[in-house]
Amino acid sequence: MSTNHAKRAFKYRFYPTDAQAAELSRTFGCVRKVYNMALAARTAAWARQERVNYNQTSALLTAWKKTAELAYLNNVSSVPLQQALRHLQVAFTNFFGKRAKYPRFKSRKKSRKSAEYTTSGFRFREGKLTLAKMSEPLAIVWSRPLPEGARPSTVTVSQDAAGRWFVSMLCEDPRVRPLAAADAAVGVDVGLDHLLTLSTGEKIANPRHERRDRARLALAQRRLAKKAKGDGANRAKARHKVAKIHTKITDRRRDALHKLSSRLVHENQVVVIEDLTVRTMLKNHTLARAISDAAWAQFRTMLEYKATWYGRELVVVDRWFPSSKLCSACGTLQNKMPLHVRTWTCDCGTTHDRDVNAAKNLLAAGLAVSVCGAGVRPQRSTPGGRSAVKQKTPRREP
């Protein structure tokens, strides 16, 4: 049997007992402590122009456990602690590879509460998951079945800001495989008035998930702001209400983006999008809230891994490509195209919808590189000499 199946995470909600919740909370704290101490040790070594790798931090962890001050680290499973060191190693690898910024310390209040277990840290039998240091299996709500015969390779337990508990299991999924080749290709222009505009002319409305709950969220935030910082219980309740509203917004947004990205990947062999610098765009305080709510970066991430899963091509067009100012009919480049102009007529007589025209131009630029092959530049480029196509997610062969 082939073992080249894609690995996929299956996330479920669970309800721990009081003892399990206490054990997991201790584990989260120890994971954060070990990560921060290892980061401090590596930072000090970096200042001395020395490098510390995973094996050295693992030896440090063994030494820390033998001290009276840190002996409590022995009370939780060692597997999540070792995984924290591995995650730190990955963070430094990405930093040295110039793919990420220097690793940051984990905050008690703001950092994600999670712990990762490898196969030696859990037992999965007959549909029941039991973690190390626990005598009872987790009470998981199986909202969807795991792939038949699936055996989790890693298990990640987490708690969100609203206090909900989740377990994510990484399994091989034989159902994720390249799809039959499709004849269709689509250009996708993202926006705020419409979340997506396709080169086919279809416009997908912006659900504006955050706006639906803005009044409730603002009220909850005002009530939180009025709570004195010393008023522990009442302030915690108010903070929980704010977090609960945020999680509902996030869940709805993620669900909608999953459906859209899956549809585009399944229907089209080539999907072309624009490379947007969302982080820079968020500096525009007038539009920052709407841009965050649209979640363009999250949508792109979903397209990237789903294209890899299903053997599709995702082409990313350079942000400087003048998709809105270029006539998709004759190729004439307009000098100016203010944002308030939603329709315009070219000298050739073609009347364009701004967003549909941009999507058509993105598709044309993307198909140029898709047809020519990876690494081949399309003929059309911007006046400044920049290439229209920035990068391409290659098609995965069956």
Give strand pairing partners of 9: 170
Handedness of CA 29, 32, 35, 39 (dihedral sign): negative
The stretches of 142-270 forming alpha helices (DSSP H) are 209-212, 214-226, 232-267
Q: What spatial distance separates the first Cα and last Cα of the chain, rounded to whole Å?
A: 15
Q: Which two tokens stand for residue 338?
A: 């203010």
Which residue reads 């522990």 in tokens? 232
User: Known catalytic residue: 355?
Assistant: yes
Q: Of 160, 172, 189, 293, which one is the catalytic site residue?
A: 189
User: Known catalytic residue: 275?
Assistant: no
Q: Are 291 and 280 in contact (CB under 8 A)?
A: no
Q: Of 160, 210, 293, 355, which one is the catalytic site residue?
A: 355
Distance CA(124)–CA(21), nearest Å, equals 19
Distance CA(159)–CA(183), nearest Å, equals 43
Q: Would you call 158 helix, strand, or coil by DSSP? A: strand
Q: Using CA atoms of 177, 180, 185, 190 in order, give the dihedral in degrees to the nearest 10.
A: -30
Nearest Cα to Cα of residue 80 among 10, 157, 150, 161: 157
Distance CA(270)–CA(311), nearest Å, equals 10
Q: Of 23, 172, 274, 293, which one is the catalytic site residue?
A: 274
User: Known catalytic residue: 274?
Assistant: yes
Distance CA(330)–CA(380), nearest Å, equals 13
User: Angle at CA 278, nearest 5°, toward 371 and 252?
Assistant: 95
Active-site positions read 189, 274, 355
